[in-house]
Amino acid sequence: MSDSLILVTGGAGFIGSHLTDALLAAGHRVRVLDNFSTGQRSNLALDNPRLEVLQGDVADAALMRRAVVGCQAVAHLAAVASVQASVDDPVGTHQSNFIGTLNLCEAMREAGVRRVVYASSAAVYGNNGEGVAVGEDTPKAPLTPYAVDKLASEFYLDFFQRQHGLEPAIFRFFNIFGPRQDPSSPYSGVISIFTERALAGKPICVFGDGEQTRDFFYVADLVPLLVQALSAAKVTSGAVNVGHNQSISLNQLLAAIGEVLGSLPAVTHTAARAGDIRHSRADNSLLCQRFQLAPATPLQDGLARLLGR
Ligand code: NAD
Ligand code: UD1
């Protein structure tokens, strides 16, 4: 399928733009659909003739019908990625994070496009992973509108698979980090905020005591998994966790950033976020079984690359 056309929704964003680069490098044609709410044109190789950019919203059903025409497969990454943003604006977030998925399913069914890679989230497990590595069968406990929309999207993809032969490859990403993760909003991913502030010598604010943990995964390690899922001869149903089965607390993360830079600015603490998950760590045995994983980028190396060291 080397020169086939792939639709990447959210392709101007952090993960989507890395995927777009990889697909273009592999010889594919890529159609990016993005509303540029958090994504940037500067993330895209706009001078590449194999790249097409559609500016618009996944909540626009007519646009989605046009977007899938001629595509071999779709990577559906467009969403409001911030859990906190969904808490502040559940209705607005729902348009992007749920209606967008439903529109895509309908558009794919009508156009006869089958393969879709979907970016779900560890957020669907809520706090059920407290103290353990969460396997895919762990009972779901979506604590926020973000998590509810991700889980509902998974269920809809499953329905379209059973009813209409869609081929969804669903990944539950844990915390992805790396270059192009936009640090400019208080809603941005924690590593992008902490590293940007550390480089600028500005105070860093931790929500809560800093003992909450995450399973951080470097974006360059994620992209080959998405490419494999887009091009595999067949997909096996059921969502797959993407993490390393490693817990890093925010306090450990800050220490690691300090080690790379040689020093840290002042660190302050404020109240924990509503709905914030305390501990999140992936059981990744299914991922290792189903996909070819390159050696993982250690957190320290990923941070060093981000910090330009
Ligand atoms: P991002 O904000 O950089 O990318 C999201 C992209 O989608 C942006 O380019 C944005 O402009 C676009 N977008 C948002 N709403 C849209 C809409 N209604 N219509 C069209 N485009 C829209 O975030 P990211 O970290 O690259 O996240 C990509 C996907 O991965 C999201 O679905 C997110 O929920 C999921 N995810 C991310 C992480 C993570 O740690 N970064 C973890 C789990 C799941
Ligand atoms: C992140 C992703 C979400 C994904 C989920 C999967 C982003 C923006 N969010 O959510 O899309 O589905 O992982 O696990 O990419 N924090 C601070 N100070 C800050 C910012 C954050 O202390 O300035 C804390 C938060 O309260 C939280 C932790 O850092 O405890 C991680 O926050 P964040 O990076 O927003 O990620 P998640 O909420 O885990």
Q: Cα dihedral sign for 223, 225, 230, 231?
A: positive
**% of residues, the chain, pLDDT over 90:** 95
Q: Is the pLDDT of residue 96 over 80?
A: yes
- Domain edges within the chain: 5-176+218-242, 179-214+246-287+294-306
What ligand is nearest to the CA atom of residue 19? 1
- Give the mutation target among 18, 214, 217, 306 for probing the ligand 2 site: most ligand atoms within 8 A of CB: 214
At residue 138, does pLDDT exceed 60? yes
Q: Residue 146: what residue type?
A: Y
| Strand locations in 219-285 (E) | 240-242, 248-249, 267-270
Tell me the C-alpha distance between 105 and 152, whole Å. Answer: 13
Q: Is the CB of 81 under 6 A from ligand 1?
A: yes
The predicted-structure confidence for 279-299, as pLDDT tens digits, reads as follows 999 999 999 999 999 899 999
Quick one: pLDDT at residue 131? 80
Across the range 21-47, mean pLDDT stands at 98
Residue 187 annotated to the active site: no
Task: Give yes or no for residue 33 having a pLDDT over 60.
Answer: yes
State in Å: Cα 100 to ligand 1 middle. Answer: 12
Give the contacts of 204 (CB within 8 A, at least 6 positions apart): 193, 194, 197, 198, 254, 264, 265, 266, 267, 268
- Which ligand minimizes its atom distance to the CA of 198? 2
Q: Which fold has domain 179-214+246-287+294-306?
A: UDP-galactose 4-epimerase; domain 1 (3.90.25)
Neighbouring C-beta atoms of residue 303, cutoff 10 Å: 25
C-alpha dihedral sign at 271, 277, 279, 282: negative
Mutating to test ligand 1, I would choose from 80, 82, 248, 280 the residue with most ligand atoms within 8 A of its C-beta, which is 80
**Element holding 289 (H helix, E strand):** helix 285-290
CA distance 51 to 29: 6
Contact 196, 177 (CB under 8 A): no
When pLDDT is cut at 50, 70 and 90, the band that residue 187 belongs to is: confident
Mean pLDDT (the chain, rounded): 96
> d(Cα 240, Cα 291) in Å, to the nearest integer?
10
Name the active-site residue from 118, 125, 146, 218: 146
The secondary structure of residue 296, as a DSSP letter, is P
Distance 162 CA to ligand 2 centre (A): 33
For residue 1, pLDDT over 70 is answered with no
Confidence of residue 267 (pLDDT cuts 50, 70, 90): very high
Q: How far is the CA of 230 from the centre of ligand 1 (A)?
A: 18
Most informative mutation of 7, 8, 14 for ligand 1 (most atoms within 8 A of CB): 14
First to last CA, the chain: 38
Q: What are the Cα distances from residue 4, in Å, to 69, 180, 184, 224, 227?
A: 12, 26, 35, 17, 13
Q: How far is the CA of 214 from the centre of ligand 2 (A)?
A: 9
Predicted confidence (pLDDT) at residue 142 exceeds the cutoff of 90: yes
pLDDT given for residue 223 in this prediction: 98
In 3D space, the residue among 225, 224, 193, 223 whose CA is nearest the CA of residue 206 turns out to be 193
Ligand lying nearest the CA atom of residue 53: 1
- Torsion angles phi and psi, residue 95, rounded to 5: -60, -45
Distance, CA of 206 to CA of 150 (rounded, Å): 26
Averaged pLDDT for residues 216-229: 98
Q: Measured in angstroms, how far is the CA atom of residue 266 from the centroid of ligand 1?
A: 30
ipTM for this prediction: 0.98
Please say if the pLDDT value at position 93 is more than 70.
Answer: yes
Report whether residue 178 contacts ligand 1, using a CB cutoff of 6 Å: no
What does the pLDDT average to over 84-98? 97
* Ligand 2 site, CB within 6 A: 81-83, 121-123, 173-175, 188-190, 193, 205-207, 212, 214, 250, 273, 276, 280
Cα 276 from Cα 284, distance rounded (Å): 22
User: What is the C-alpha separation between 109 and 166, in angstroms, rounded?
Assistant: 7
Predicted confidence at residue 130, as pLDDT, reads 79
How many Å apart are CA 48 and CA 19, to the nearest integer? Answer: 15
Q: For 227-239, write each residue's pLDDT tens digit.
A: 999 999 999 999 9
Pairwise CA distance, residues 179 & 49, whole Å: 24
Q: Report how far ligand 2's centroid is from the alpha carbon of 278 (Å).
A: 11
| Residue range 297-302: mean pLDDT, rounded | 97
Q: Between the CA of residue 102 and those of 10, 55, 83, 159, what are the distances in Å?
A: 15, 19, 20, 11
Q: Has residue 264 got a pLDDT over 90? A: yes
Regarding the domain delimited by 5-176+218-242, which CATH topology (the fold level of the hierarchy) does it fall under? Rossmann fold (3.40.50)
At residue 75, the pLDDT reads 99
88 dihedral zone (left: phi>0; alpha: psi -120 to 50; beta): alpha
Q: How many residues does the chain have?
A: 309
